[in-house]
Amino acid sequence: MIDPDFLDELDRFDTSLKRASNAPIEGDQRSQDVGEGLTFSDYRRYVPGDDPRLIDWRVYARTEELFIKRFEAERNLTVHVLLDATASMGFGDGDQNKFEYGAKLGLGFCHLTAEDHNNFRFSLIDESPTRLDTDTSTQGEVLRLVDTLNETTPSGDGDFKAALESYADTIHSRSLVLVISDLLFDPEDVADGLGALARNDVLVAQLLTPEELGPTTTGDAIFEDPESDAIRRTYFGGTAAKRYDERLQAHLDAIDDQCRTFDIERELVDTGTNFFDTFASLWLGARLGGERRARRY
């Protein structure tokens, strides 16, 4: 169960993501458009038709020429959290459970986004996206999401590609999209799904448990597929363990290559790592990535 008290520990983080946005709403994030906002940009000469309220009379007193103030249009940033809710995300005991660990990462992003008076959306992805928030980006909404997620059990094998493609069609302004998943899907489907989101700023947290990253099981063992319930008994060790490591690394490399293709930030997360250390790394990556991209627009 997710204890909401962990949110209090996140208040020490700088809430500003400083990302460029083109949403047509006033808010706290800058864009490169110029309009009547809250942040002074520069001056230009007055021309007939300009709003006389924008004339800087102090400048006129010094130069006897009319100049108007220009402002950077202020924009709201929307943070979209997409949490994988397929059965494989239910793997892991206690604090290492992938779904719970991932849910806390997403909730943390929503918490700090609300603190900065910006908007968040929280959805589960399996066969299709299921939006959980009620379009109210407040701390009360974050707490309501905690209760909802505590009542959610990951299930099914999902359709990562279709779910992300469907969700991408609902995003109508430049946003930050946080995708939280173990990405245990065909790399080509992962590429298609993430590619559909790539016109936005995308951050991927790929979650795997310590046992998945380096199985400690040896000898006769029974393996169960959480998505299909298939069971296989085999001897795990030696050649089988080596083959597992090779296939896992090949999969991770393929996912990494796909993310690089779309200039998507991806972080491989070991759920055995301290949660706050992981969150700090992701949040810093989101901020630095946003500052880098903001200079492009």
* 112 to 120, 227, 272: CA distances (angstroms): 10, 33, 24
Instruction: Look up residue 55 and give its DSSP letter.
Output: B
- DSSP 8-state symbol, 160: H
Domain ranges of the chain: 4-22+76-294, 29-75
Query: Lowest-pLDDT range, 22-26, 67-71, 72-76?
Result: 22-26
* pLDDT tens string 202-239: 999 999 999 999 877 676 667 766 656 677 777 666 77
**pLDDT confidence of residue 237:** 67
The residue with tokens 């909404």 is 141
> Which two three-digit tokens encode residue 179?
């995708």
Residue 250: per-residue pLDDT: 96
Task: Using pLDDT thresholds of 50, 70 and 90, give the confidence band for residue 73.
Answer: very low
CA distances from residue 229 to 181, 199, 224 in whole angstroms, order as listed: 20, 37, 6
pLDDT band, very low/low/confident/very high, at 9 (cuts 50, 70, 90): very high
What value does the mean pLDDT take over residues 63-72?
Answer: 76
Distance CA 262, CA 196 (A): 10
Indicate the pLDDT class of residue 61, thresholds 50, 70 and 90.
Answer: confident
Asked if residue 36 has pLDDT above 50, the reply is no
pLDDT band at 15 (very low <50, low <70, confident <90, very high): confident
Task: With a cut of 70, say whether residue 273 has pLDDT above it.
Answer: yes
pLDDT at 296: 46
Please give the CATH architecture assigned to the domain spanning 4-22+76-294.
3-Layer(aba) Sandwich (3.40)
Q: Is 147 exposed, middle or buried (0-12, 13-18, 19+ CB in 10 A)?
A: exposed
The predicted model scores a pTM of 0.77
* 149-207 residue pLDDT tens: 999 999 999 999 999 999 999 998 878 999 999 999 999 999 999 999 999 999 999 99
Residue 22 pLDDT > 70? no
